Structure 1
Amino acid sequence: MMRNIFIGTYIEKLWIYKFVFAGYSKLKFLYRDYLISDRKAITIRFRRAFGYTLDIENPKTLNEKIQWLKLYDRTNLHTRCADKYKVREYVKSKIGESYLVPLVFETKNVRDLIPDNFPDYPVIIKTNHDSSGGVIVRNKAETDWKRLQKHFKKLLKSNYYYKSNEWQYKNIERRLVVEKLLVRKDGGVPYDYKVHCFNNKAITIQVDIDRSGEHKRNWYSSSWKREPFWWSSLKSGGKRTDPAKWEVDKPECLPELIRLSEILSQEFIYVRADWYIVDNRIYFGELSFHHDGGLHPIWPKEWDYKLGQLLKLPIDESRD
């Protein structure tokens, strides 16, 4: 009897602790994401990521300069180009629509995610305002549409700005974008070629390999030599997108890839232009202005500084 009372009291206290802890966690995230300034939140995140205090007035490394860009490089064009739907018009105006992935449809209503609105070929569904969460539909007859609607209903309620303090996401009019799925001849998803442009010049190219499996990331110069550094992301399960031991073949269309990236970068201090290559044809992916939020280390560490010196900010010019 006493044992049962003890167990009951223990369980009751455990639930109270869980409730209190959950409430504390929610208040902590509310404070961090909504109540403090962007500058304070960015400073906290940076120190947590790197273990030292961000000097926003005198940034020197590439990751530090990305934090400066978050705070001081804000235009309506950034918002337009961070929008995965509206950026299509920007790309069309700059380089033409032939580089765009075929659009199936766009909608603001998850109830439009029904079989009648989808083609018989594979597609990818994604939100226009977030950084992940895309879903591939290969066979609409085998798709759980209710589950799909529930997934995207949740995503449409989120505002990525409050998770990242990346201002360009704050005022995006949220919607769903459905595009044709690009596939290689063997049925696999093509590699991602991401060209990092500093001051309108292609500096380095990351190649993301097998994103749905053993995700690797190689880094190459604009002349396709393996870079002496790597800049990995942290994925679920604690895995990192470290470089593969083998090489990715130099694309035949590399000069065109660089040319297009530099055209799209003309309005920006720093931008990452993402592309896919299928049968030697180039397709635009997206534009990103703060790679990984500038919150992942570059190895070896000295390359964070070396790359930072290649990116010139307006404050760098004022100090010269």
Structure 2
Amino acid sequence: MKKLQDRAGKIYRNSDIGYNIVRPIYLIYQFILKFMSDKHIIKKQFKARMGYKLDLENPKTLNEKMNWLKLYNRKDLHTIVADKYKVRDYVEEKVGSKYLIPLILETKDSNDIRPENFPESNFIIKANHNSSGGLIVRDKTKVDWEAARKRFKRTLKENYFYSSREWQYKNIEPRIIAEELLTYEDGSIPEDYKFHCFNGKLAFIMIDFDRFGELRTRNLYDKDWNLIPCNWGRPYGKDLEKPDNLEEMIAVVEKLAEDFIYVRVDLYLVKGKIYFGEITFHHNSGHQKFIQEEWDYKFGELLKIKELENEK
């Protein structure tokens, strides 16, 4: 189902025929969604994707608690740091600008997506207000710029909140940003180091391999870089050496995570230098199964939401 939705999304964004057919249906669907409660949609999505009912009264698994947090943990700061543009100020204030990927462009006008506004190669263009990925450019002479402008014009009209019910996306002011594309010396895209933090402290580290390939794999490590014997949505990947500056990476993410109950902080490590990627409040929208189901409960037990439960 997820692959089908992703394929439909690409047709919707990149095809004139797909857009003209799907857009009216999407607008009607979004209009209907606005009259449905967040709780109703969150519970319905959870059952469809996880296969069991969401227990909001006594959430136990990590996925359940992420969905509980969608409803009961909403702060203005969440909107700021979920914004891929405004989060840059938050990162600079918390840990310093040296961790930021160089910014090339920010605009609210898709007409600014023109070759003269970009370097010759190696950058990524993306929206600040959703999780649809971006346009990776290796050589700007090979880009269909008219299609790119059309794609991002459509993206600027979307509000990711109504389909996901992840509140932090609801009030982000849409814009387009472009950043330098981080690569290894061979030109390949670096692995994401995804640090999952519970109550301001690192719980585990997740590494995705071959993110843009056919066989995407994933390893989970503890804070001492021991492989955790579980698979979250994907099979094990290759062995990866412990980064020399792991302690610095952990210090950065815990500083960025200190204001939040649960958060995933993504970093890149290129040529020994640490770069900030993004902050995510609900990994995979709280809808990713563990192959070993008991780990959903183990991690869920570590994430404490009692303080929030008393405020509910």
| TM-score (ref. length: structure 2) | 0.88
Note the residue ranges of structure 1 that are not aligned, 5 or more in a row.
1-21, 233-240
Deviations 1:100-123 (A, max 9, x none): 000011001111011110112310
SS in 2 for 1:47: helix
- The total of aligned residue pairs comes to 289
> 1:224-265 CA distances to partner (integer Å, 9 max, x unpaired)?
111111212xxxxxxxx4322x21111111111111110000
1:208-227 equivalences under 5 Å are 208-213=208-213, 214-227=215-228
TM-fit CA distance, 1:34 = 2.2
- Cα deviation for residue 207 of structure 1 reads 0.6
How far apart, CA to CA, are the structure 1 residues paired with 2:27 and 2:169?
A: 23
Partner residue in 1 for 2:266 = 274
Deviation at 1:28, TM superposition (A): 8.7
Q: Is the 8 A contact 2:99 2:274 kept in 1?
A: yes
**Are the structure 2 counterparts of residues 71 and 145 from structure 1 closer, same or farther at C-alpha, using a change threshold of 3 Å?**
same
Trace 1:60-79 onto structure 2 (pairs within 5 A): 60-79=60-79
Give the match for residue 248 of structure 1: 240
In the alignment, what sits opposite 2:288?
296
Q: Give the alignment of 1:97-136 within 5 angstroms.
A: 97-136=97-136
Matched-pair contact (CA < 8 Å) for 1:122–1:180: yes
Question: Hey, what does 1:18 align to over in structure 2?
Answer: none
Aligned residues of 2:122 and 2:137 also touching (Cα < 8 A) = yes
The whole-number CA distance in structure 1 between the counterparts of 2:252 and 2:73 is: 22
Give, as a single letter, the amino acid of the residue that structure 2 aligns with 1:230: N
Is residue 230 of structure 1 aligned with residue 231 of structure 2? yes
1:30 positional shift: 4.2
Aligned pair in 2 of structure 1 residues 155, 27: CA closer, same or farther (>3 Å)? closer
Query: Offset at 1:133?
Result: 3.0
Aligned: 1:140 with 2:137: no
Assess if the C-alpha contact under 8 Å between 1:32 and 1:41 holds in 2.
no
Q: Which residue type is aligned with residue 219 of structure 1?
A: L
Identity %: 49
Q: Distance in 1 between matches of 2:308 and 2:112?
A: 49
**Any idea what SS the aligned residue of 1:296 has?**
coil
Alpha-carbon deviation of 1:208? 1.2
SS in 2 for 1:231: coil
**Aligned 8 A contact 2:72 2:308 in 1:** no
**In structure 1, C-alpha distance between the alignment counterparts of 2:97 and 2:134, rounded to whole Å:** 22
Paired letter, 1:175 = R
Shift in Å at residue 299 of structure 1? 2.5
Give the drift of 1:317: 7.1
Separation (CA, whole Å) in 2 of partners of 1:65 and 1:31: 28
Q: Shift of the alpha carbon at 1:318? A: 4.5
Q: Pick from 286, 306, 309: which aligns with 2:301? A: 309
Contact 2:30-2:162 within 8 A present in 1 as well = no
The whole-number CA distance in structure 1 between the counterparts of 2:201 and 2:107 is 35
Residue 32 of structure 1: how far off its partner (Å): 6.3
Residues 1:83 and 2:70 aligned together: no
The equivalent of 1:188 in structure 2 is 188
The alpha-carbon deviation at position 194 of structure 1 amounts to 0.3
- Matched ranges for 1:157-196 at <5 A: 157-196=157-196
Is the deviation greater in 254-263 or in 31-40?
A: 31-40
**CA RMSD of superposed structures (Å):** 2.1
Where 1:277 maps in the other structure, the secondary structure is strand
| Aligned 8 A contact 2:267 2:274 in 1 | yes
Query: SS at the partner of 2:106?
Result: strand
Whether contact under 8 Å (2:184, 2:271) holds in the other structure is yes
- The CA deviation at 1:316 is 7.3
Letter in 2 for 1:39: K
* TM-score for the superposition, normalised by structure 1: 0.86
Q: Aligned partners of 2:31 and 2:123: how far apart in 1?
A: 39
Instruction: Tell whether the 8 Å contact from 1:103 to 1:180 is kept in structure 2 after alignment.
Output: yes
